[in-house]
Chain A
């Protein structure tokens, strides 16, 4: 990633995310009341976060690559099933992945 790209992403993300927040304070309530819009909007975070799990955990560039990250992700999944808190989930994944990375 170039330095320019990093600043562009930072600037554009910050401006757009703030604009969206501010929008909520100005738009009339009826505008977002359409049931279809609300249903889709409620599902967008789930779809995006799911895709991000896959893109970050199982993909390198444009190829599916199963490596040490998968081991970390599997442990994270187990931790979530065991109702572990968020920091434990993330830390256990990192430790597992690092171990597999070095042992491999």
Chain B
């Protein structure tokens, strides 16, 4: 549920979205614009990304979580990179506070997505809670990619992608957890290498410029350098310093 793989539509995550012309649209406007294409986009992204749940299910078990706990992560946390971070820090021998902090910091971008999706879904009450829970990279990405097709398509893209990823991500988390449980010793099946490889796979599509690649390499070197000095898990949190230093000044 983080930008992995080629199916995820690129969109600017940091810049505030240009305000969509939501107000002038009546409730019947835009209903006829290409709903089929939007549904197809949404479902193909949902299924592809959902299958990565297998990797999370395996990672949860490898870190020492139970099948139930691993599945609850996907049901309740439902934001991929954060879930991987939480179980990853625990697998690295880190403390609970480090695990929670790393996961929460990785999840802050969802607040920016919510900011962009709020005027689009215009939901209240329970529906707003549901919209918030489904606000992830993919639902926001597909919704924004539907901009040329109109507000109705954007809204459909958001809900369908969010609900679809939720369904498949949880289904495949269960399969991955059960599979990993049946396999036994994580190292014997390479699961201890699958987790850092998954992080690398999550990181890779984000490295779109030289500057971002330099930030990534700097963070890796920094994390390695402080490893002997800090308790396990803290080097991961400390790497946020690299982001602060690199992002402080305008380039």
User: Is A40 an interface residue, CB under 8 A from the partner?
Assistant: yes
A86 touches B52 (CB 8 A): yes
B117 touches A24 (CB 8 A): yes
Within 8 A of B (CB), among A38-56: 38-56
User: Is B174 an interface residue, CB under 8 A from the partner?
Assistant: no
Please measure, in the bound complex, the distance between the C-alpha atom of A32 and the C-alpha atom of B118, giving whole angstroms: 14
Please measure, in the bound complex, the distance between the C-alpha atom of A35 and the C-alpha atom of B248, giving whole angstroms: 9
Residues of B within 8 A of A33 (CB): 16
Within 8 A of A (CB), among B152-210: 187-204, 206-207
Chain B at the A interface: mostly helix, strand, loop or mixed?
A: helix
Residues of A within 8 A of B232 (CB): 59, 61-62
Please measure, in the bound complex, the distance between the C-alpha atom of A55 and the C-alpha atom of B90, giving whole angstroms: 11
Given contacts A54-B223, A87-B54, A97-B187, 19 further A-B contacts (CB under 8 A): A1-B64, A8-B100, A10-B73, A13-B73, A13-B82, A13-B86, A14-B76, A16-B107, A20-B111, A21-B107, A24-B115, A25-B128, A43-B246, A46-B212, A54-B196, A56-B91, A57-B200, A68-B193, A98-B190
Q: Chain B residues in contact with chain A, CB under 8 A?
A: 2, 4-6, 13-16, 51-52, 54-55, 63-66, 69, 72-73, 76-79, 81-86, 88-93, 96, 99-100, 102-115, 117-118, 128-129, 131-133, 135, 187-204, 206-207, 212, 215-217, 219-220, 222-224, 227-228, 230-233, 235-236, 238-240, 242-244, 246-248, 250
30 contacts between A and B (CB under 8 A): A10-B69, A10-B76, A21-B113, A24-B117, A25-B114, A25-B118, A33-B16, A35-B250, A41-B108, A43-B246, A46-B203, A46-B243, A47-B215, A47-B243, A48-B219, A52-B236, A54-B223, A55-B233, A56-B192, A76-B197, A76-B200, A85-B5, A86-B201, A90-B55, A91-B194, A93-B190, A95-B190, A96-B190, A98-B193, A101-B187
